[in-house]
Amino acid sequence: MSIGNRDERQFYEIEAQQSKWSLSELKRQFNTGLYERLALSRDRSGVRALARTGQVIEKPQDMLKDPYVLEFLGLEEKARYSENDLESAIIDKLEMFLLELGKGFLFEARQKRLTFDTDHYFVDLVFYNRILRCYVLIDLKIGRITHSDLGQMQMYVNYYDRKVKFDDENPTAGIILCKTKNDALVELTLPKDANVYASRYQVYLPSKEELKKKLVEWSEDMPGME
């Protein structure tokens, strides 16, 4: 692969070997800007580690991408679709979605019902990450994320931590996949130690040029990244 950036090239070499990617999967990961998407969700030491060791999953933040790229679902960006349509498309393409989520994910349930007295709530998708040894709950939002979305996910996470996970398992993580994310809203709504995260998704391939531009702008604002 003719990748000029040494760190980026080394990252793909490590990941292709460790994850046993086929050639087509390697090309997809490169075309979706996996390196840039992972780098943009890390601090400067995390970015440098990508080139040395690839994607190492040690804490929930290590599995996050922004955005998640779901072009394989076949949904048109301008078409009108519901959250149920998005969820159904993911289930139909579950193998590809697991690859996009990353390392160590196992699928457990769709529309998992949680009951409090007479009230019922439903988690869109439930996964288990065998590397982190924790449940990962995912809710899908086709619009802008709200503080109530974050509060609801925190409730789901609390329920799993108190009622479902074993004592020797790690705390449950919650991810809200949304079309539009407000970082300030997320930061102000959630406590600092919350294990709840918001990431964008898009149903089309990103522009690698735009991702690289964002990474350059991000690195210029981060001391020590020059």
Co-location of 94 and 195 in the same domain: yes
Amino acid 66: pLDDT: 86
Residue found by looking up tokens 């990617």 in the block: 21
Co-location of 53 and 73 in the same domain: no
Summarize the confidence of residues 172-179 as an average pLDDT.
96
**195: domain CATH number?**
3.40.1350.10
Q: Report the alpha-carbon distance of residue 201 to residue 195 in Å, rounded.
A: 19
Cβ atoms 40, 222 nearer than 8 A: no
Co-location of 188 and 222 in the same domain: no
Co-location of 197 and 217 in the same domain: no
Co-location of 108 and 156 in the same domain: yes
Co-location of 140 and 46 in the same domain: no
Q: Is the pTM of this model over 0.85?
A: yes
Q: List the 134-144 sheet strands across, edge first.
A: 68-69, 196-202, 173-180, 134-144, 119-129, 105-116
Amino acid 1: pLDDT: 66
Whole-number percent of the chain with pLDDT over 70: 97
Amino acid 223: pLDDT: 57
Query: Is it the case that residue 225 has pLDDT exceeding 80?
Result: no
Residue 63 forms part of a structural domain: no
Q: State the total domains in the chain.
A: 2
Residue 200 forms part of a structural domain: yes
- What domain range includes position 174? 68-205
Co-location of 51 and 110 in the same domain: no
Co-location of 8 and 79 in the same domain: no
Q: Report the alpha-carbon distance of residue 123 to residue 31 in Å, rounded.
A: 31
Co-location of 107 and 164 in the same domain: yes
